[in-house]
Homo-oligomer: A and B are copies of this chain.
Amino acid sequence: MASVEELQKKVRELEVKLAAAHGTSDAVRQKIDFISADVVDSNPYSRLMALQRMGIVDNYQKIRNFTVAVVGVGGVGSVTAEMLTRCGIGKLILFDYDKVELANMNRLFFQPHQAGLSKVDAAAATLFHINPDVATERYNYNITTLENFQNFCDVISTGGINGGPVDLVLSCVDNFEARMAINTACNELNQKWFESGVSENAVSGHIQFIVPGETACFACAPPLVVASNIDEKTLKREGVCAASLPTTMGIVAGFLAQNTLKYLLGFGTVTHYLGYNALTDFFPIMGLKPNPQCDDSYCRKRQEEVQARPPPVEVATEVTEDNTPVHADNEWGICLVDENVPEEDTTNLNLAEGVHLAYTVPIDNETPESSTGGAVAASELSLEELMKQMKSM
């Protein structure tokens, strides 16, 4: 015979399981109108408001005013959305046309009971459960078809909290075509966005901040994650799939959400390009100027607009919007890493057809003083110089 205590414990456990099964209405906390800094256990914002007291962020509460579009709600996009939700972002707009599968369970966020649901529906339900203060909008379609692309552009340009453009677009897609669609839209709309990617062998990734006309767009530069026009669906059809890890994807999502916060809230420096090589814990940072001969006509137009501007006092005025930045150093974090890569033996990596390494793995040449795995030759190279350098490898 079970005791009252045992039964009470059982009831509590079942309530938790039931709430986890699909955030029931009574399990969701009440909405909070005003972000408070009170240090009480019941305040979900106390540890975020502490960023203000510690001098990291000037005004945390303005996070409520921002809208971020997340395109691709997979291993990177879902975690990025969850991080921004937990930070109390104003509004998230989610785009994806895929369904949750058990094969996605090796990445964070989705749970087995959500298999079969659309990713945007499953994600929105979980995010609402985590933080009902965040508004979400969902688009369960492929942005690359003609009709959807037009709708996508409309949403980006009017989806902001006050009916204006969104504040930032985050690309978390897994194929070349979708990246190019986002690039085309953002060049045309003059919309700042972040590119992100994880390599098919799961052990490297990157994020890239793209400001139309100011930095290289996705069409300007050869992508470092090599696109073969073979997306995951094609690979799967042939019984082959890309590897993935919750670690690599969680780290890339962390970099993406962190730089989004830095950009929106104006602290630290927004990194232009940040890479991650998991095998050696190597983090290349670089900057790329836009290509004056870019195939995208809107990219060239934005470049002309930027050149016609009066020279700015410092490059990052828009990044650190209010007053003086808290940390006024290396505004763009732009410097180019000399990966310093000797010949690499890729033969033993045994890559599947259509799958390329996103990064070369630096090979140490035994003398630590000569420093691979972190050597930074900081300078901003032009695209021409970079192309020349890449060709000479």
Contact = CB atoms under 8 A, between A and B. Distances in A.
A21 B113 CA distance: 10
Contact of A243 (B56, B86, B101): B56
Interface residues of A, number: 130
A281 B206 CA distance: 12
Interface string A108-140: 100111100100001001100111000000000
Interface in A236-251: 236, 239-248, 250-251
Contact of A106 (B48, B108, B243, B373): B48
A258 B268 contact: no
Nearest to A130: B111
Interface on chain A toward B: helix, strand, loop, or mixed SS? loop
A112 B129 contact: yes
A329 B370 CA distance: 14
- Residue among A15, A44, A112, A363 facing the most chain B CB atoms (10 A cut-off): A112
A53 B239 contact: no
Given A54-B352, A103-B46, A279-B269, A246 B83 contact: yes
Contact of A335 (B122, B334, B371): B371
A70 to B, nearest CB: 15
B53 A352 contact: yes
Contact of A55 (B50, B112, B281, B348): B348
Nearest to A278: B258
Which residue among A1, A3, A278, A285 has the maximum number of chain B CB atoms within 10 Å of its CB? A278
Interface stretch (A35-43, A177-185, A218-226, A297-305): A35-43
Interface string A143-162: 00000000000000000000
B56 A112 contact: no
A193 B128 CA distance: 37
A230 interface: no
A215 to B, nearest CB: 15
B258 A254 contact: no
Contacts of A291: none
B280 A330 contact: yes
Contacts of A10: 7, 11
A20 B129 contact: yes
Interface in A323-370: 326-327, 329-330, 333-335, 337, 348-352, 355, 361-364, 368-370
Nearest to A132: B112
Interface-centre pick from A254, A370, A376 (highest chain B CB count, 10 A): A254
Interface string A282-311: 010100000000000000000000000000
A32 to B, nearest CB: 10
9 contacts: A19-B111, A21-B21, A41-B102, A42-B103, A44-B105, A44-B106, A47-B106, A87-B246, A371-B377
Interface of A: 1-4, 7-8, 10-23, 27-29, 39-48, 50-51, 53-56, 79, 82-83, 86-88, 101-103, 105-108, 111-114, 117, 122, 125-126, 129-131, 200-203, 236, 239-248, 250-251, 253-255, 257-259, 261-262, 267-269, 271, 274, 278-281, 283, 285, 326-327, 329-330, 333-335, 337, 348-352, 355, 361-364, 368-380
